[in-house]
Amino acid sequence: MSKVTVEIESRSDRWRFVCPRGHRSWEPTNHHFWCQQCARMDGVDGVFHELRDRKSGHLIERHEVRLLDEVGPYDQDLDRRGSA
């Protein structure tokens, strides 16, 4: 299965790929995501495991996402998993 590539520092990717509640203030961390805006809400956990693709409306699991930043893949261990 091919992964969806998300460029972390790309403005257009930040508009397209959002947390499940629709915020762009998410960050990848330790095999999941964290959303700053969600974490500020009472009774809401900032941790989540799926990004919403606003273009298609689909939720994309963390292991289905290949994150890139200016130096390359963000999670090389996740990107290598299952590719051997």
Tens digit of each residue's pLDDT (9 = 90 or more) over 42-62: 999 999 999 999 999 999 999
Q: What is the dihedral of CA 62, 68, 74, 79, to 10 degrees?
A: 60
CA-nearest of 32, 9, 7 to 19 is 32
**What is the predicted pLDDT for the residue at 33?**
95
CA–CA dist 12, 31 (Å, integer) = 23
Q: CB count, 10 Å around CB of 16?
A: 16
Is the pTM higher than 0.85? The answer reads: no
**What is the predicted pLDDT for the residue at 73?**
73
Would you place residue 78 in the very low, low, confident or very high pLDDT band (cuts 50, 70, 90)? low
- Look up residue 66 and give its amino acid: R
Q: Is the Cβ–Cβ distance between 13 and 73 less than 8 Å? A: no
